[in-house]
Amino acid sequence: METPKKTYSKQGGRPKVSIGRIRKYVVSTRLSPERKLRFSALCREAGQPPAEVLRQLIDRGTVRARITREQLDAIVTAIEKLLKQICDGR
């Protein structure tokens, strides 16, 4: 018994994804148990998978830069001045 031949040229299935929407890069990281629990809780609260939560954090989240040595020295100097003023005022 022969199989029937297709009379049309289009194959079914999912259409191709545009180049701008392709997700081809993978990022992996190691987390401490505490951070893993925090991340899992965040995913659970959001009701979204971890990959989507991470994408949203990258798109909308903020990351604070570390304090430089100069900034730290300025903070220490300001605190020392305040302490000196408080001690001299007694």
19-51 confidence digits (pLDDT tens): 888 888 888 999 999 999 999 998 999 899 999
Banded pLDDT at 18 (limits 50, 70, 90): confident
Give the Cα separation of 69 and 45 in Å (integer).
38
Give the Cα separation of 71 and 64 in Å (integer).
14
Whether residue 77 has pLDDT greater than 90: yes
For 76-82, what is the mean pLDDT? 95
Supply 22's token pair.
């392709």
This prediction's pTM: 0.52
